[in-house]
Structure 1
Amino acid sequence: MAGNHEGEGVMEQPLTLAERIGRTEKAGTGSPDLRPKLESSDLLEEVVPERRRDGSLKMTLLWVTCQATVSNMYTGYLARSAGMSLGDLLRASLIGVVVMVGYGLLATNVGTITGQPHSVLARGVLGKSGSALASVLLAVTGLGWYGFQAVFLAQLFNGLLGFTHLQLFCVLFAIVMITNNLLGFRSVSGYARLAAPVLLVWGAYTIIKALASTAGPNLFAAPHVPPTQGILLTVGLLVGVAVYGNEPDLFRYARRDRGRNIMPLVVGYGLGMLVFPVAGYLMAELSSASTLGATMHFFTQFSLFGLTALAVVVFTINVVAVNDANLYEAVNAVQNFLRGRRRIETVIVLGVLGAAVAAFMQRSSSLQDNFFIVANMCAVFLPCATIVLAIDVFLLERLSGCRRPAGQDGVPRAVTSWAAASPGNVAGIVAIVAGLVVGAITGGLIPGTSGFGTTNMGIPSVEAWMTTIVIYLAAMLLARVLTSYRAKQVLLGLPAAEPVPA
């Protein structure tokens, strides 16, 4: 059920015959197809209409599931293993929440306001070449996390059930996890609404029981481990787990209201980046175990009543829910090139590629090394493109005096076809690439260098984002003083003909 009056329980209205015919003709088939369209079509080349959008409660449950992850718990586990105190972890978590709410206000609202998926909006703002770049980044980050989560689930099963042949199980998990994406966003969000309450109850119970235990008063003492990880590195990992980059893909299904997605953002980031890292830290502290598997055994005894089967169910629900969003990200990127066609085949092919990524990760590096690289990569790569899209939507006309074609019914951006897209937004592409370079250098993301997988200067993601913001804002201000529309067009990827003033 997904109506435009969520609280009143109004069911979503089915597409009319005329709508189905119109959609088919827009796709360029040349002849009407009267067969009902599955949700897997997912409105990739259209603005999501108000009647198909969800309210704050459903979006909050979806976003809590995306943020309340076992990966965040693993961040807390690593912080304890690296000698950080619980107080330091809490400080890192609070900084991370502030950073992510600021980023989230840009990323989610650009999707809600325009109603377009990330890759299609990029086509209108960044042009053909910029959209291709954004789609590649979208696919890389989505598959990177998708592979890691499959590896992580296999590692958890190894600790809980003694599984061996982990490469095989990584591949099997990655392939099974494609199921929800075959049915599109509604299936992804529906599963999330099931997972969120389970995860929240579990995380809260774990922390309360830990603080109430006999060791509770001593949990804030510094661990007897030489510190090897600082607050800023931990913030970077937390941000890397929290960032998806394709937030517009998910929040284009959010209703346009005065809240501007504040409730989903604050609740999702607050619970995900506070409750779960702390739960992971406390389990590592109370168990005094030296391995993740041993910690998971203790965790099962402590918070899940010793029921290994229940632990398997909870962990599996969590990882599958998160990987739904990761694969959805990559699928929409490829669908941009395919003009929204062959979605089912796209899901299957990318699921197989994700399985290959998981097998490679399991074989090539340790879980901790993979986590460091994927988290920093995802915090830098796609968000730089997302930030350019948001700045363009919210500030282009105000700062540059230029406009892009508006959509119908007050939508600030029309859906731009590949044929109508500009060759490229020079300023936007330069801003994105500059951000990637800064993030790669400060985050140890350049293969073959001595710092690959180990370097961390400040908060690489924030440094990359700020680089992108400064360059693109400067370009818009420059466009304002240029007298030639052709120069503005090349600089910002504007339409071929100068728009007539309204």
Structure 2
Amino acid sequence: MKKVDKEFSLQPVPQSNRRGFWKMLAVMMGLTFFSASMLSGGELGMGLTFTQFILVVLAGNLILGLYTGALAYIASKTGLSTHLLARYAFGEKGSYLPSFLLAATQVGWFGVGAAMFAVPVHAVTGINEYTLVILSGLLMTATAFFGMKALTVLSLIAVPAIAILGSFSAMNATETAGGLQALMDYQPIEAMGIAAALTVCIGSFVSAGTLTPDFARFAKTKRTAVSTTIIAFFIGNSLMFLFGAIGTFAFGLSDISEVMFMQGLIIPAIIVLGLNIWTTNDNALYASGLGFSNITKISKDKVVIFNGIVGTIMAMWLYNNFMGFLTILGSTLPSVGAIILADYFILKKGSYVPFEMMKFKVINWIAVCSWVGGVLVAQLVPGIPPINGIIGTAVIYVAVTKAIEKISEITQVNQKEKGELVNDH
């Protein structure tokens, strides 16, 4: 008997396997409970007044919410992952480029995440770092193997636990720093510009946000997909930024788990740190499995096990040597999302041929070149790089596609006219 792929790695998710609002909200909140956002929150907290911080975080998460919400809409309507959606714009083999970039980045961050759990826990407990890496890596791989059901259960446990314990710690830290009034009165020693602050806020999650369709495709309705995604960014991501800012202000530490260690809350700190990284790493490993499955046509389950083992083995090396490169690699991902959005909403006017009936190009070189152009725009044009990259990529892709279509139409008309002239003679 042929085994059924319950994660629908290479096909649309049928309506019978979709999930309602609360389960989808838990998964999307788990995605946005991201340790790196706390580090970014700490960076913003040091360079902005508290009022500026709140405004920047709300504005940044609004932009992230619009970007990821639009991707969630497409995913829910089509039932397709980021990688299968990429086939429409990039072509079947052309989609291997975004799939490889997305999947390789997520395997890298999975390894870094395992080390980010092991290093501080080793510091306070004395347990060997490599033992912690292996145990956490294997446990995270096991839950990612079981797919969306396991992600949902994990998120339903992790999200409230992180929110409650983290908020308790943040309130204590606020009191230690002199209360809410002290936060409101804070003046940064070196002020950060608003454009730079928005770059930090948006850039911290825009790459992972490009993977939103991998999860939102399971939403029962488009409204559920979009609303849960936007709510997750406004609550989940904003909370992570707030934890980071308060921790930095009170103790000079942006990670809420490190703040809890300082407060003597050892067990709660390990729980918060573990659950936070666990939800992030499970989502990363799940998404990487879908990406490499698109390339290899091997089922997601088998790819997840392989990726988890690789990420676990390389965890400490990635943590010590590779984080900068992963950040650079991640900066190339928003252009992928921009091309998917532009292709669906502008060129295809909000409607794709059903996946099973679609005959894909092998490679759409316009999309590949537009991706390169968009990455260059993000790096070279002044302003806010993530926004520059998304808008620049979309403009290039649409403009070049329409220009080539126009040239093709003119050529066909000219050839037809020449043929008619020859026939007349």
* Coarse TM-score class (shorter-chain normalised): 0.7 to 0.9
Give the AA of the match of 1:352. I
Alignment of 1:421-460 (within 5 A): 421-441=360-380, 458-460=383-385
Change (3 A) 1:58 1:127: same
User: Is residue 474 from structure 1 mapped to residue 396 from structure 2 by the alignment?
Assistant: no
Task: Please point out which of 38, 42, 46 is paired with 1:73.
Answer: 38
Partner of 1:495: none
Q: Does 1:349 align with 2:312?
A: no
SS in 2 for 1:130: coil
Going from structure 1 to structure 2, the CA distance change for 1:297 and 1:472 (only over 3 Å counts) comes to: closer
> Which amino acid counterpart does residue 113 of structure 1 have in structure 2?
K
Q: Which runs of 5+ in 1 are unaligned?
A: 1-32, 408-412, 443-456, 488-502
Note if 1:393 corresponds to 2:344: yes
Relative to the length of structure 1, the TM-score reads 0.73
SS in 1 for 2:184: coil
What runs of 5+ residues in structure 2 fail to find an aligned partner?
A: 413-425
SS of corresponding position for 2:218? coil
2:68 corresponds to:
104
Distance, in Å, in 2 between the alignment partners of 1:384 and 1:274 is: 24
Q: State whether residues 149 and 319 of structure 1, in contact with CA within 8 Å, keep that contact through their aligned partners in structure 2.
A: yes
Mapped to 1, the partners of 2:308 and 2:195 lie a distance apart of 34
User: Shift in Å at residue 415 of structure 1?
Assistant: 6.2
Q: Does 1:462 align with 2:387?
A: yes
> Any residues of structure 2 matched to 1:291-302 within 5 Å, and which?
296=257, 298-300=259-261, 302=263
For residue 318 of structure 2, what is the aligned residue in structure 1?
Answer: 361
Contact (CA 8 Å) 2:158, 2:276: kept in 1 or not? yes
Do residues 183 (structure 1) and 122 (structure 2) align?
Answer: no
Residue 313 (1) aligns with residue 257 (2): no
Cα 1:377/1:95, change in 2 over 3 Å = farther
Q: Residues 462 and 160 from structure 1, CA distance in 2 versus in 1: closer, same or farther, beyond 3 angstroms?
A: farther
Task: Check 1:247–1:187 CA distance in 2 against 1; reply closer, same or farther (3 A cut).
Answer: same
**CA, structure 1 residues 415+200, in 2 after alignment: closer, same or farther (shift >3 Å)?**
farther
CA, structure 1 residues 237+166, in 2 after alignment: closer, same or farther (shift >3 Å)? farther
- Give the 3 Å change call, closer, same or farther, for CA 441–355 of structure 1 in structure 2: farther
**What are the Cα deviations for residues 140-183 of structure 1, in whole angstroms up to 9, with x where unaligned?**
221232223223222332454355x6466445533432111211
Within 5 A, what are the aligned runs for 1:25-424?
A: 33=1, 37=4, 39=6, 42-80=7-45, 82-161=46-125, 166=129, 169-170=132-133, 172-211=135-174, 214-222=178-186, 226-227=189-190, 230-243=193-206, 244=208, 245-257=210-222, 259=223, 261-287=225-251, 289=252, 296=257, 298-300=259-261, 302=263, 306-339=264-297, 341-364=298-321, 370=323, 374-375=326-327, 377-378=329-330, 380-398=331-349, 406-407=353-354, 413-414=355-356, 416=358, 420-424=359-363
Count of aligned positions:
409
Report the Cα distance in structure 2 between the residues aligned to 1:308 and 1:218, rounded to whole angstroms. Answer: 27
User: Distance between the aligned counterparts of 2:108 and 2:295, measured in 1?
Assistant: 20
One-letter code aligned to 1:189? T
1:79–1:159 distance in 2 versus 1, CA, 3 Å: farther
* Cα distance change on mapping 1:199 and 1:250 into 2, 3 Å: same
In structure 1, give the amino acid aligned to 2:211.
N
Q: CA RMSD in A?
A: 3.1
Aligned residue type for 1:329: A
Q: TM-score, normalized by length of structure 2? A: 0.85
Corresponding letter in the other structure for 2:232: G
Q: How does 1:2-41 map to 2 (within 5 A)?
A: 33=1, 37=4, 39=6
Deviation at 1:480, TM superposition (A): 5.3
Contact 2:34 2:237 in 1 (8 A): no
Amino acid at match of 1:112: S
Contact 1:283–1:299, Cα closer than 8 Å, also in 2: no
1:238 and 1:166, CA in 2 relative to 1: closer, same or farther beyond 3 A?
Answer: farther
- Deviation of 1:357 after TM superposition, in Å, equals 4.3
Structure 1 pair 429–391 and aligned structure 2 pair: CA distance change class (3 A)? same
Stretch of structure 1 that moved more, 328-337 or 234-243: 234-243
For 2:158 and 2:411, locate their aligned partners in 1 and report how far apart those are by CA, in whole Å: 51
Change (3 A) 1:54 1:461: same
Q: Do the aligned residues in 2 keep the contact of 1:141 with 1:381 (CA within 8 Å)?
A: no
In structure 2, C-alpha distance between the alignment counterparts of 1:374 and 1:299, rounded to whole Å:
28
CA distance in 2, matches of 1:277, 1:162: 29
| Partner SS state of residue 227, structure 1 | coil
Contact 2:35 / 2:277 at 8 angstroms: preserved in 1? yes
Question: SS of 2:213's equivalent?
Answer: helix
Residue equivalent to 1:16: none
Instruction: Measure the CA separation in 1 of the matches of 2:278 and 2:219.
Output: 22
Return the structure number with greater relative CO, CA threshold 8 A, min gap 6. Answer: 2
Change in CA separation of 1:88 and 1:162 when aligned onto 2, cut-off 3 Å: farther
Could you report, residue by residue, the CA deviation over 1:11-57 in whole angstroms, capped at 9, with x for unpaired residues? Answer: xxxxxxxxxxxxxxxxxxxxxx26x6463xx1122211111111222
Percentage of identical aligned residues:
20
Contact 1:65–1:195 under 8 Å retained in 2: yes
- CA drift of 1:376 comes to 5.5
Question: Is the Cα–Cα contact under 8 Å of residues 376 and 461 in structure 1 kept in the other structure?
Answer: no
